[in-house]
Amino acid sequence: MPILTIRGLNKFWDTAHVVRDLELETREGEFIALLGPSGCGKSTTLRLIAGLEEASSGEILLDGRDIAALPSAKRGISMVFQSYALFPHLTVGENITFGLSVRGESRKVQAEKLARVAPLLGLQALLDRRPSQLSGGQQQRVALGRALIAESPICLLDEPLSNLDASLRAEMRNEIRSLQRRLGITMIFVTHDQTEAMSMADRVALLREGRIEQFDTPEMLYSRPASTFVARFIGAPAMNVIEAAVFDACGMNVPRSSLVGLRPEDLYPVERGLPGRVVQIEYFGADSILSVDLGVTQCAVRLQGRPSTEIGTTLHLGWDADAFHLFDAETGLRQDITVPQPKWTELQPA
Amino acid sequence: MKVSRNFIISMFLLFPAAVLLIAFTFYPTVATLIDSFFSTPRGRRPAAFVGLGNFERMAADPVFHRAFFNNLIYAAVTIPVSMGLALAMALLVNSRIKGRGFVRLAYFTPTILPMIAVANIWMFFYAPDYGLIDQFLGLFGLGGTNWLGQSGTALWALIAITIWKLAGFFMIFYLAALQQIPPSLLEAATLEGANYLQRLRRVVLPLLMPTTLFILINAVIEAFRLVDHVIALTRGGPNNSTQLLLHYIYQVAFNFWDTAYAAALSVVLLSILALIALIQFGFLDKRIHYR
């Protein structure tokens, strides 16, 4: 059963159309990532759901009731801000129970709920400290605690990990994910980091210029990108998007109205395949990224370890049939037509 | 002993400021304290040590009592009212209203004007019958009040001028502090269910506390320091109803040339201010959260 449904959501800033006809549906207990480059409207979308901005048009249904016109406090939504937005003059405990306190809950109830939430986040020993005496990770936990104590059905997180250093980020990634699973709350989080989105989310909504480009599981986003934009956004390095004419060189007849998508990790050297000249090799230890010049364009190839190939040599590239993606050259949308693939196995040395 | 080069240079650099401070602050303070225990020198009679004589005289001086009491009322009204107004105005001009820039400027204008000019403007407001206030009240048949000329209203008329002058000045500090509060804090409070008054009481005011202490100290000093309008408008009258401590000191020293008594009065004023400052820092500072 969907817990949050967004229909036809639009937001204008003066004349700028920042959220365009957004449609989104999340099930209970799902972990959703809003992913996209900066300026794609993902943070605005989150603020529209929270009620911190007013939608220009559209419906936001939470558990079946339309909350789009309600003030943010009445929506039953909690939020973790990018800067954590902790009250500097209050202790950790007071910060977490702030919402309960302004809503007039008794001190007894506040203390009980605090005693339940604090251990979840390992904050028991820090309750009397002030935010300025905490590390970034601890502040993050306090912000989470304040969001969780209200027991709202949905928790929004705005770039929750962007203020942490790399090692802490990995730790908090796991922690937030396991907390979400354990408590079974629905979480929607905004990020511009595809690794965060891919590794944490059940489903990822990839936004571009205020529209959802694709809303799917990380696996589908990776293996069946809906457009060249998705193909280029997911994966590091990004999927190679190559003109059809290039494939004449290996005897393939690709329709000229199409673009071909091939992931760097799906390409491997064969004896006779798509020829190209190696122009650069970047060695990363476990793998290397080769830049191969295909004539009109370059493509990236990921190979295990350090390849024996040297710069300037010609490399023949092959791929498996299911690694071959086709997109419309005009619209950039995925095409589900099959093109007969060469048989690399016959060409490979015995 | 070898004196380091750095020491010589640092002394040299401190010298100009030290000379100014000693000549115009520390020496006069100490001299005033010493003078307060002596009699006023006259012609052929030099100053003689009189111990606490000047202070005993003060205890029996009805004008001093009046000035002290007036100053208490003056401070007790101008400080909270001007600070409250300043906060209200700052909250107003910090919100999204039309003509925000104009309103900010309008509120700040009294601060830019010299107090003497302000006093002259208000003299026309307060003038009986043809003054602005009486002309307005005349529409309702209430004219003919000599606001500055009768003991019942004169002090309050001066209090109104002071509040008008100071509120805009204090507003600037509050406005600057309000703009330092990250909007996300208020958004978080809103999301947690706090209404406007709860946000104000639980988030905004505590975060403004350092500014409030700063303004409070300034307001106390102003309440005892600002007497330009007394000199320009009433000279302490009628019947000492607008007599304030500093103005009384000025009169005793430069109208009556009783410098020893004026020194004793100054010592009392200084002690009052020092005591208030100590209380403010001692009590409030511990309760304030500094970012």
Q: A240-347, what's its fold? A: OB fold (Dihydrolipoamide Acetyltransferase, E2P) (2.40.50)
Structure tokens at A161: 């990990």
- As a whole number of angstroms, the distance between CA A68 and CA A8 comes to 12
Give the number of other Cβ atoms within 10 Å of residue A181's Cβ. 12
Among candidates B190, B207, B209 on the partner chain, residue whose Cβ is nearest the Cβ of A73: B190
- As a whole number of angstroms, the distance between CA A229 and CA A333 comes to 9
Structure tokens at A221: 């986003």
Cβ within 8 Å of residue A122, ≥6 positions away: A141
- As a whole number of angstroms, the distance between CA B258 and CA B265 comes to 11
Give CA angle at A309 (A306, A315), nearest 5°: 130
Q: How many domains does chain B have?
A: 1
The predicted pLDDT at position B289 comes to 66
Q: Report the gap between the CA of A89 and the closest CA in chain B (Å).
A: 6
Residue B188 and residue A130: Cβ atoms within 8 Å? no
Q: What confidence category does residue A217 fall into, taking pLDDT thresholds of 50, 70 and 90?
A: very high
Residues of B with Cβ-Cβ distance to A132 under 8 angstroms: 291
Residues of A with CB under 8 A from a CB of B: 50-52, 71-73, 77-79, 81-83, 85, 87-89, 98-99, 102-103, 130, 132, 146, 150
- A74: closest chain B residue by CA: B193
The predicted pLDDT at position B249 comes to 92
Residues of A with Cβ-Cβ distance to B185 under 8 angstroms: 85, 87
Region of residue A339 (phi > 0: left; psi between -120 and 50: alpha; otherwise: beta): beta
Give the number of other Cβ atoms within 10 Å of residue B177's Cβ. 21
Query: In which residue ranges of chain B is pLDDT below 70?
Result: 1, 286-287, 289-291
Q: Is A7 helix (H, G, I), strand (E, B) or coil?
A: strand
* Long-range Cβ contact pairs of A164-169 (< 8 A, separation 24 or more): A164/A136, A164/A137, A164/A140, A165/A136, A168/A136, A168/A137, A169/A196
- As a whole number of angstroms, the distance between CA A69 and CA A191 comes to 26
**CATH 3.40.50.300 occupies which residues in chain A?**
2-233
Give the number of other Cβ atoms within 10 Å of residue B106's Cβ. 13
Contact A46, A34 (CB under 8 A): yes
Q: What confidence category does residue A348 fall into, taking pLDDT thresholds of 50, 70 and 90?
A: very low
Structure tokens at B7: 């020491």
| Residue indicated by tokens 């009445």 | A74
Q: Residues A301-333: pLDDT tens digits?
A: 999 988 888 888 998 899 988 899 999 999 999
The full length of chain B comes to: 291
- As a whole number of angstroms, the distance between CA B182 and CA B184 comes to 5
Chain A to chain B, count of Cβ pairs less than 8 Å apart?
63
- As a whole number of angstroms, the distance between CA B253 and CA B58 comes to 14
Of the residues B191, B200, B207, the best mutation for testing chain A's interface (the one with the most A CB atoms within 10 Å of its CB) is B191
Of the residues A67, A79, A98, the best mutation for testing chain B's interface (the one with the most B CB atoms within 10 Å of its CB) is A98
Residues of A with Cβ-Cβ distance to B198 under 8 angstroms: 102
List Cα–Cα distances, B44 to A121, B40, B41, B256, B262, in angstroms.
85, 12, 8, 18, 20
DSSP secondary structure letters along A125-161? GGTTS-GGGS-HHHHHHHHHHHHHHTT-SEEEEESTT
Contact B149, B123 (CB under 8 A): no
Give the number of other Cβ atoms within 10 Å of residue A217's Cβ. 14
- As a whole number of angstroms, the distance between CA B100 and CA B90 comes to 11
Tell me: pLDDT of A350 over 80: no
Among candidates B188, B202, B209 on the partner chain, residue whose Cβ is nearest the Cβ of A85: B188
Tell me: pLDDT of A218 over 70: yes
Mean pLDDT of chain A: 89
- B206: closest chain A residue by CA: A89
Mean pLDDT to the nearest integer, A135-156: 89
Span between the terminal Cα atoms of chain A, in Å: 55
List Cα–Cα distances, B152 to A238, B69, B82, B142, B156, in angstroms.
84, 14, 22, 16, 8
- As a whole number of angstroms, the distance between CA A157 and CA A292 comes to 40
Q: Assess if residue B18 is contained within a domain.
A: no
The partner residues of A53 in beta bridges, in order of sequence, read none
- As a whole number of angstroms, the distance between CA A153 and CA A3 comes to 8
Residue A72 and residue B184: Cβ atoms within 8 Å? no
The predicted pLDDT at position A349 comes to 47
Give the number of other Cβ atoms within 10 Å of residue B111's Cβ. 15
| Residue indicated by tokens 């906060």 | B87
Q: What confidence category does residue A206 fall into, taking pLDDT thresholds of 50, 70 and 90?
A: very high
List Cα–Cα distances, A116 to A123, A145, A156, A179, in angstroms.
11, 10, 21, 13
Q: Residues A62-111: pLDDT tens digits?
A: 888 888 888 888 888 999 998 899 999 999 999 999 999 988 889 999 99
- As a whole number of angstroms, the distance between CA A57 and CA A236 comes to 36
Q: Residues B182-232: pLDDT tens digits?
A: 999 999 999 888 889 999 999 999 999 889 988 988 898 888 887 888 888
Residues of B with Cβ-Cβ distance to A52 under 8 angstroms: 187, 190-191
List Cα–Cα distances, A168 to A136, A161, A218, in angstroms.
9, 9, 23
Residues of B with Cβ-Cβ distance to A72 under 8 angstroms: 187, 190-191
Peptide bond into B110 cis (omega under 30): no
Structure tokens at B65: 């009592």
The 8-class DSSP code of residue A265 comes to G
B181 touches A: beta carbon within 8 Å: no
Q: Assess if residue B36 is contained within a domain.
A: no
Residue B203 and residue A87: Cβ atoms within 8 Å? yes
List Cα–Cα distances, A89 to A136, B184, B215, in angstroms.
17, 15, 20
Give the number of other Cβ atoms within 10 Å of residue B289's Cβ. 14
The predicted pLDDT at position B139 comes to 83
Structure tokens at A297: 């364009």
| Percentage of residues of chain A with pLDDT beyond 70 | 98
Residue A48, φ and ψ in degrees, nearest 5: -70, -40
Residue B190 and residue A72: Cβ atoms within 8 Å? yes
Contact A24, A205 (CB under 8 A): yes
**CATH 2.40.50.140 occupies which residues in chain A?**
240-347
Q: Assess if residue B140 is contained within a domain.
A: yes
Residues of A with Cβ-Cβ distance to B177 under 8 angstroms: none
| Residue indicated by tokens 């009491």 | B69
**CATH code assigned at B220:** 1.10.3720.10
Span between the terminal Cα atoms of chain B, in Å: 45
From the list B31, B40, B71, the residue with the least C-alpha distance to B261 is B40
The whole domain housing B84 covers 66-287
The partner residues of A2 in beta bridges, in order of sequence, read A27
Of the residues B184, B186, B192, the best mutation for testing chain A's interface (the one with the most A CB atoms within 10 Å of its CB) is B192
- B290: closest chain A residue by CA: A89
The predicted pLDDT at position A235 comes to 87
Within 13 Å of residue A68, how many CA atoms lie on the same side as its CB? 17
Q: Class assignment of domain A2-233?
A: alpha beta
B192 touches A: beta carbon within 8 Å: yes
Among candidates A73, A79, A85 on the partner chain, residue whose Cβ is nearest the Cβ of B185: A85
Q: Report the gap between the CA of A5 and the closest CA in chain B (Å).
A: 20
Tell me: pLDDT of A345 over 70: no
The predicted pLDDT at position A242 comes to 92
Helix (H) or strand (E) holding A281: strand A268-283
- As a whole number of angstroms, the distance between CA A18 and CA A7 comes to 16
